[in-house]
Structure 1
Amino acid sequence: MDKNVLWYREVQLEKTKQALEKNNYEVYIVEKKDDVNGILKDIIPKNSTVSFGGSMSIIEAGAIEYLRNNDYHLLDRYKEGLSPDDIGKLYRESFFADFYITSSNAITENGELVNLDGNGNRVAAMIFGPKKIVIIAGWNKIVKNLDDAYERVRNYASPINSKRLNRKTPCVQVGNCVDCSSDERICTHYVVTYRQNTRGRGIVILVKEDIGF
C-alpha cells in the first residue's frame, strides 16, 4: 500500500477508535486478521457460552474455527446437519450467550455501527440480550458518516451478500439496491447503533486489512 494512503487509513482508524471509545466501546486495533484470535483468547473466558452472527469477516479472521477448537460452549449455527428449526432455536438461545461475535456492515468515524439485516437475529442480539458483543471489522468497513454508511450498506454490502447467498433478487442482476419487494430480499431491518449504553458490553476489534464485505 502507498505510504500516503496508509497514513490516511491509520489516521481514520485512530479517529474511529477514539469515537467508539467515547461511545462506551472497548476497542482493539490489530495489524492483521490473524491477530484477531489472540484478542478473543484474552477477552473470552474458558467455558463461556458463545454465539455468532452471519459474517464473512469472522469467517475470514478464523474466529469460528478458533471457537470450535477451544473450551467454549459454542452455539454453532453452521454445524452440519442442523434443520431450520434447530437454527431458529440457536438464534433464540443466542440471546442468553455470554459473548456474541459478529461484524458490522459499516462503522462511521463518529463511532456509529450501521447494519442491514434479513432475519433480524443479528441486529437484535447486537442491541440486547447477550452479555457482551464483539464486533470484528476490517478498516474497509469505516466510512465518513451515516450517509456514506447507508450508501455502502445498500449498494455494496447487500448486493454482494445477496450474490454470495445465491438470492434471486434484482440487486444481483444490476449490482445495486432497487428497494425490491422480493421474497428473497435479505435487507429488511436497517439499524443504526449510536452508542452502547452499558459501558464494557460492546467490544470492537478493528483490523488493518480489508476483510468481509
Structure 2
Amino acid sequence: MTPKETAYTIQAERVIGEMKRRNFEAFYCPTKEDALKKAISLIEKGSVVGSGGSATIKEIGLLDYVMSHPEDYTYVDRSLAKNDQEAREYHAKNILSDYYLMSSNAFTADGQLINIDGNGNRVSCLCFGPKHVIIVVSMNKMCADVEDAYRRIRQDACPPNALRLNLDTPCAKTGYCAECTSTSSICASFVTTRMSRYPGRIKVILVGEPLGF
C-alpha cells in the first residue's frame, strides 16, 4: 500500500470506532469497487430504494446497479417528476423507502456527519423516514471538527456542485462562498448528525479513494 492508503486504513479504524459509539454502523473499503460490493450486500432484495442525487453513489456504480435490477429492487426515480407536485410525491416515497442512498458532504474525526442542503430533501431523509440510510463517503472528506467540516463544504464542495447543477449563484461565478441568500442557493440547511437514536439505521461506508465533491 502507498503511505496515503496506509494512513486512510489507520484513520478509518479510529473513525469507525467513533461512529459505532454514535450508533452508526460503519465499514471501510479501500476501493470504490469494494464499496459497491459492500453497499449491495447491505440492501435486502425486494426493498424500496431511494437516493439523494449523490455524485458519489453514481461514481461507485451503486445507482446504476439498483436501477438495472428491477427484479430485486423498486427504485424511487425522482428524475421522472414532471412538476413540483410530482417532485413532492417522489420525496414522500423516498421518506417511506426501505433504504435511502446518499453521501455526506463531510465527516469529522470523532465520527459526526456534516451536510449542507438546498431543498432539504436529502438531509430530511437522513434525519427521519427511511428504515435504513446507506452513506458512501470518501476518506478525503474527513475533517478535524464540525467547524472545519462546514468550512470545507462551503469552499470545496458547494461551488463545483453549483456549477454541476447549472445554478445562478455567486459561488458558481467566483468559486468562493459569498454567504448568499439566493433562491438558487444550495446552502439553505446546515445539518450535523452527531448520533443515531436508532442503532444501525445509518450505515456509513468509508472509501479510500477520492469520490464526489
Structure 2-normalised TM-score?
0.94
CA deviation after TM superposition for structure 1 residue 82, in Å = 4.0
1:54-93 to 2 correspondence within 5 Å?
Answer: 54-70=53-69, 71-79=72-80, 82-93=82-93
CA distance in 2, matches of 1:211, 1:61: 8
The one-letter amino acid of 2:66's match is L
CA distance in 1, matches of 2:88, 2:166: 21
Cross-structure match for 2:116: 116
Cross-structure match for 2:188: 188
Cross-structure match for 1:159: 159
Cross-structure match for 1:175: 175
CA distance in 1, matches of 2:152, 2:209: 17
CA distance in 1, matches of 2:173, 2:40: 41
CA distance in 2, matches of 1:74, 1:6: 34
Provide Cα deviations, 1:150-199, integer angstroms capped at 9, x if missing partner: 11111111111001111111111221211012221111000000011110
CA distance in 1, matches of 2:4, 2:38: 26
SS of structure 2 residue aligned to 1:78: helix
SS of structure 1 residue aligned to 2:56: helix
Over the matched positions of the two proteins, sequence identity in percent amounts to 36
Cross-structure match for 1:6: 5
CA distance in 2, matches of 1:147, 1:27: 23
Query: Do residues 34 (structure 1) and 26 (structure 2) align?
Result: no
CA distance in 2, matches of 1:147, 1:9: 22
CA distance in 1, matches of 2:144, 2:15: 9
CA distance in 1, matches of 2:18, 2:192: 15
The gaps in structure 2 that reach 5 residues or longer are none
- Report how many aligned residue pairs link the two structures: 211
Deviation larger for 146-155 or 37-46? 37-46
CA deviation after TM superposition for structure 1 residue 209, in Å = 0.3
CA distance in 1, matches of 2:174, 2:211: 24
CA distance in 2, matches of 1:84, 1:60: 27
CA deviation after TM superposition for structure 1 residue 43, in Å = 1.5
Provide Cα deviations, 1:47-70, integer angstroms capped at 9, x if missing partner: 101101121000101111110122
SS of structure 1 residue aligned to 2:191: strand
The one-letter amino acid of 1:55's match is S
Cross-structure match for 1:131: 131
1:134-145 to 2 correspondence within 5 Å?
Answer: 134-145=134-145
Give the root-mean-square deviation of aligned CA atoms: 1.5
The gaps in structure 1 that reach 5 residues or longer are none
Q: Would you identify which runs of 4 or more consecutive aligned residues in structure 1 move more than 6 Å?
A: none
The one-letter amino acid of 2:47's match is S
